Structure 1
Amino acid sequence: MIGGKEVYKAFIDTDIHLSILEPRHASELYEVIDENRSSISEWLTFPERTKEVKDSTTFIEKSLKRFASNNGYWAGIWHKGRLAGSIGFLYIDWDAKKTEIGYWLGDNYLGKGLATKSVERLIEHSFYDLELRKVEINVASKNLKSRAIPERLGFTEEGTIRNYEYLNDEYHDRVVYGLLQEEWRTK
């Protein structure tokens, strides 16, 4: 239990499970980020702010506060007992009954279906356990591998936010994907 709440843990198959990140995972999280810094930084900004284990600890503590206040969380994606990456709800809008899922993996874990299976599990959690109506995934328009995940899972491309962020000396557009509960249930 963390903050009076049952810690979220989900077994996807015999090799993959998700579990809320806790302070005891900070070193392992930092190692995965540090070992994959250049590839993760191609599309995400957090590796540049993650300079030591303490930064991972701070991130996890903030995530646990969001979890305790029922406003999202980050979980580790474990593959055969090793931390492979992370996935989470960036927020939960309880009035609109929607959330946004974010995810990333270390290079050694790409192409194994971990991200797709993990996103699928969080979609199920969103619609069946949390009773949300909509899940969004926002992806850099040029990040074709990441875009393939919502497309594979039946999301609708809802639009593009131009010049969404400045990263690696260029502006990146962001594609917004959405999936409604009724679309998932009829899939």
Structure 2
Amino acid sequence: MSATGSGTHRVPYRVETGRLVLRCWAPEDAASLRAQLDASDEHLRPWIPFMADEPRTLAATAAWLREHRASFDLDWGYRYAVFDRSERSLLGENMLLKRVGAHALEIGYWIAVNATGHGYAREASAALVRVAFELLEVRRIEIHCAPGNRPSAAIPERLGFTHEATLRDRVVDTEGGHHDLMIWTLFAADFPGSPAATAPIAAFDALGETLL
């Protein structure tokens, strides 16, 4: 079922861009994820809520990835591992989350500390914008971030999102601090004129059939 609640199941399990491969997590990715999260702890902890539960053991990480895969298969939300095109190097994660209301999805992302500064999060997010509008037929995509996280806020700005609001004192970080929350939005009507609309991608379903 699409994110709009109707239509055939057109969720891609694999998305390819010019430099990246996004694919559904698998338990065998646990060691690569564990290494990147451990190396990126200081980099990610101020901004990424799940870091409150880190560090996990390798077994707990594998179990966590099984939960991600189950949620993906059940259409509860779509979390993608982001690799280079060789699929040898895990670079981060991009997500399509069902927590911003009907006919809408939220894009989330993080990039490992050793992969920052190359535009990977922007490239992967542009791909998921196309997936959300062209395959899942949503009416709205949101990106949320803290005002102090300028690299994160630059991504929706460069993809043509509008900064609709900054909500005061809305987020509690992993250390118990309180922060404002920026809401960036792109509507389906504005998507064709956005930079994301021309992002080159290929998308494939669980059987490897081409969707885009």
Q: Same fold (TM over 0.5)?
A: yes
Instruction: Say if 1:166 and 1:172, in contact at 8 Å, map to a contact too.
Output: yes
Between the aligned partners of 1:92 and 1:133, the Cα distance in structure 2 is 14
In the alignment, structure 1 segments of 5+ residues that lack a partner are none
In the alignment, structure 1 residue 129 sits paired with structure 2 residue 121: no
Higher RCO (Cα < 8 Å, 6 or more apart): 2
Query: What RMSD, in angstroms, separates the aligned Cα atoms of the two structures?
Result: 2.0
1:176 corresponds, among 165, 180, 183, to 183
Q: Normalising to structure 2: TM-score of the pair?
A: 0.79
Instruction: Say if 2:11 and 2:135, in contact at 8 Å, map to a contact too.
Output: no
In the alignment, structure 2 segments of 5+ residues that lack a partner are 1-9, 195-212
Structure 1 counterpart of 2:46, one-letter code = E
Measured after TM superposition, the shift of residue 47 of structure 1 is 2.2
Q: Identity over the aligned pairs, expressed in percent?
A: 27
Find the residue that maps to 1:164 and give its secondary structure. strand
User: Map of 1:157-168 to 2, 5 A cutoff?
Assistant: 157-167=163-173, 168=175
1:20 corresponds, among 24, 27, 42, to 24
Q: How many residues are matched?
A: 182
Find the residue that maps to 2:154 and give its secondary structure. helix
- 2:83 aligns to what? 78
In the alignment, structure 1 residue 152 sits paired with structure 2 residue 158: yes
Between the aligned partners of 1:60 and 1:32, the Cα distance in structure 2 is 14
Measured after TM superposition, the shift of residue 55 of structure 1 is 2.9
Between the aligned partners of 1:50 and 1:89, the Cα distance in structure 2 is 22
2:49 corresponds, among 36, 45, 49, to 45
Q: Which has the higher strand share?
A: 1
